[in-house]
Amino acid sequence: MSGESIRMKIIIGKIIIDILTSIYQPFWFAILLSIMTMFFYLYGAGKGWKAAVYTWVSHFKKDREFRKKYILFFYITMVLFKTLINRNMWMNPLSDVWGVWGIYTYNSVTGQRVLTSECIENFLLFMPYIILIFWNFEEKIFGKKVYIGKIVLESIKIAFLSSLTIELLQLLLRLGTIQISDLFFNTVGGLVGGIIYFLVNAGIERIRRADI
């Protein structure tokens, strides 16, 4: 095979991969959004669009539980977009299993040290997630009384299992790379989020008792 043929084969292969990537990258987000849209469509088909929109807005204004669930689902969608949907595809998911543990990493091509916020982002990503989970399902998770020990255990368990699920999906779907550092910083971030929730919850409870 001549050099020209090889070059042409590489160009065609790159074009095909780029086209498929442009389709595949928004694919899962499109599925998620379309499912939500169809639920709304079925609801609207029964009541009429104006009535459906009015009902949604009315629930959002008046129903605290509805607002809580909406905020949770909104944030979960953001997490999924960040960790799965908006990722490069067809990478070797096991190319960097150890991951990034500091604010500097090294460019494998140039050998230069590069500043990165990846570990900080992974730490911060799961703090609001755990707070929102506890805010929505406090009674189901903790019962009537919230204890710091239970907070620590549940924060670690939920954050670790959620992060592990994301990493395994990255492995199976070949979206990004599976990294131990992601798992660690997500879990620690979730733990800190749980402790913040406990402290805020304890502060609110103290204020309520003082007002009685």
Task: Give CA angle at 128 (199, 67), nearest 5°.
Answer: 100
Model confidence over 162-176: pLDDT tens digits?
999 998 988 887 777
pLDDT at 117: 75
Residue 189 reports pLDDT greater than 90? yes
Q: pTM for the complete prediction?
A: 0.76
Q: What is the mean pLDDT of the chain?
A: 79
What token pair was written down for 168?
């395994």
Residue 15 reports pLDDT greater than 70? no
Give the DSSP per-residue string, 92-141.
-TTTTSS---SSEEE-TTT--EEE--HHHHHHHHHHHHHHHHHHHHHHHH
Model confidence over 64-97: pLDDT tens digits?
888 888 888 888 888 888 887 766 665 676 777 7
